[in-house]
């Protein structure tokens, strides 16, 4: 059976929104059907749902789908389909495998129609890098603050940690010498 509506992304997104809203209405309906509840509890449930509707309206106008799981997953799926169909991006992704610089370049080259995918990949990549840095920091701290260095203050430890975690600082003696202005006191 061929359904042309499934080919229309706007129609499919509307359907996903309807699924999310229907789910929320079902939750409200079950709360209202509780046989032992007082009318005040039913009123509070309806009032809370009304407040949620205003919140969702504001979030949807800002393209925030945090409370609409079906819509959110549909956006990501659509972006994945675009990515899977783009041969050039697939090749760049394969080339970037295991190389941080190439992966960063790949993320920069994702098309603007894939903002969710870009956000998810960026968060995922930051997770592992920051975990490694935290482990490295704690190892350095434990190494430096031991029983043999009992006089090491927190200020000293902070300075040691700052220096030990700054792997991007490189000495350049030649450049420093060029910048130094030499003064001659006199000639003989």
Is the same domain home to 57 and 91? no
Is the same domain home to 92 and 40? no
- What pLDDT sits at residue 49? 92
Is the same domain home to 132 and 109? yes
- What pLDDT sits at residue 46? 92
**79 domain residue, yes or no:** no
Task: Please identify, among 74, 101, 136, the residue that sits at the C-terminal boundary of a domain.
Answer: 74
pLDDT band at 61 (very low <50, low <70, confident <90, very high): confident
**80 domain residue, yes or no:** no
- What pLDDT sits at residue 122? 67
- What pLDDT sits at residue 54? 92
Task: Please identify, among 74, 96, 118, the residue that sits at the C-terminal boundary of a domain.
Answer: 74
- pLDDT of 17 > 70? The answer is yes
Is the same domain home to 98 and 33? no
Residue 145 carries which DSSP code? S
**132 domain residue, yes or no:** yes
What is the Cα–Cα distance from 62 to 59, expressed in whole angstroms?
5
The count of structural domains within the chain is 2
Stretch 61-69: mean pLDDT, rounded?
A: 82
Stretch 131-152: mean pLDDT, rounded?
A: 71
Cα distances (angstroms) measured from residue 170 to each of 121, 139, 167: 30, 22, 8
pTM for the full predicted model: 0.42
Instruction: Determine whether 96 is exposed, middle or buried from the number of CB atoms within 10 Å of its CB (0-12, 13-18, 19+).
Output: middle
Mean pLDDT of all residues in the chain?
75
- pLDDT of 132 > 70? The answer is no
Q: Is 98 left (phi over 0), alpha (psi -120 to 50) or beta?
A: left
**112 domain residue, yes or no:** yes
**161 domain residue, yes or no:** yes
**28 domain residue, yes or no:** yes
Of 86, 104, 85, 103, the C-alpha closest to 94 is 103
The Cα angle at residue 11 between residues 112 and 18, in degrees rounded to 5:
105
User: 143: domain range?
Assistant: 86-165
**19 domain residue, yes or no:** yes
Is the same domain home to 51 and 110? no
Task: Please identify, among 53, 74, 95, the residue that sits at the C-terminal boundary of a domain.
Answer: 74
Q: 26-40: per-residue pLDDT in tens?
A: 888 888 888 888 889
pLDDT band at 168 (very low <50, low <70, confident <90, very high): low
**170 domain residue, yes or no:** no
Is the same domain home to 95 and 133? yes
Is the same domain home to 115 and 141? yes
- What pLDDT sits at residue 160? 74
Stretch 62-73: mean pLDDT, rounded?
A: 80
Is the same domain home to 13 and 69? yes
| DSSP 3-state of 1 | coil
- What pLDDT sits at residue 44? 92
Is the same domain home to 70 and 90? no
Stretch 23-28: mean pLDDT, rounded?
A: 88
- pLDDT of 1 > 60? The answer is no
CB 122 within 8 A of CB 153: no
Helix H or strand E encompassing 188: none
């Amino acid at each position: 059976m061929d359904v042309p509506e499934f080919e229309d992304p706007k129609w499919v997104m509307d359907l996903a929104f309807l699924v999310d809203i229907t789910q929320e209405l079902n939750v409200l309906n079950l709360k209202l059907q509780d046989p032992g509840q007082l009318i005040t509890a039913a009123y509070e449930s309806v009032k809370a749902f009304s407040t949620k509707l205003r919140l969702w309206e504001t979030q949807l106008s800002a393209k925030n789908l945090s409370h609409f799981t079906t819509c959110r997953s549909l956006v990501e799926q659509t972006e994945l389909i675009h990515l899977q169909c783009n041969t050039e991006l697939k090749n760049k992704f394969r080339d970037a495998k295991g190389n941080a610089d190439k992966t960063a370049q790949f993320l920069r080259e994702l098309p603007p129609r894939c903002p969710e995918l870009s956000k998810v990949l960026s968060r995922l990549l930051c997770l592992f890098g920051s975990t490694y840095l935290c482990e490295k920091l704690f190892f350095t701290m434990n190494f430096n603050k031991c029983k043999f260095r009992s006089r090491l203050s927190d200020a000293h430890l902070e300075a040691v940690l700052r220096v030990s975690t700054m792997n991007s600082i490189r000495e350049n003696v030649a450049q420093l010498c060029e910048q130094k202005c030499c003064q001659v006191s006199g000639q003989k």
